Amino acid sequence: MENFLPVLLLLFFAVCLCIGIYTVSHILGPKNPNASKLSTYECGVEPEGSARVPFKTHFYLVAVLFLLFDVEGVFFIPWAIIYRDSLKEGTDILIAGGLYMALLVLALSYIFRKRLLRLH
């Protein structure tokens, strides 16, 4: 926990930095807004309706797959840390990692097989 105290300090400095940037730019910058300045900039064309429209679900699919693979990928890291030490005591760690890897490869090949990531 002691180790994370500097991180808290860094967080404090980062917040100060953000507040500083915001204040300085507000003090120095001019403020004379007008209607056209405050309108949405879509290349000079009048904005057609709100931008908050339902979007293609494909992006959501990518996010779900990311979530699953991220969890699997992250748990490779504890395995990687102890790999070399455990190898001295036998090949159990190799089998554990191999099983895990086999599952990951299975999932990945399923995605390719079903063409889940095709963009059309």
Residues 13-72 that bind another protein (CB under 8 A): 13-15, 17-18, 21-22, 24-26, 28-33, 37-43, 47, 50-72
Residues 75-114, interacting with another protein (CB under 8 A): 75-88, 91-94, 96-97, 99-101, 103-108, 110-112, 114
Cα distances from 82 to residues 35, 69, 103, 112, in angstroms, run: 62, 21, 20, 31
* Contacts of range 103-112, beta carbons closer than 8 Å, 24 or more positions apart: 103/72, 104/69, 104/72, 107/68, 107/69, 107/72, 108/69, 111/65
5 binds another protein (CB under 8 A): yes
| Smallest separation, CB 23 to another protein (Å) | 10
Smallest distance from another protein to CB 24, Å = 6
Helix, strand, coil tally for the chain in percent (to 5):
65, 0, 35
Size of the site for another protein (CB under 8 A): 97
| Least separation in angstroms between CB 89 and another protein | 10
| Shortest distance, position 104 Cβ to another protein, whole Å | 7
3-state SS assignment for residue 56: coil
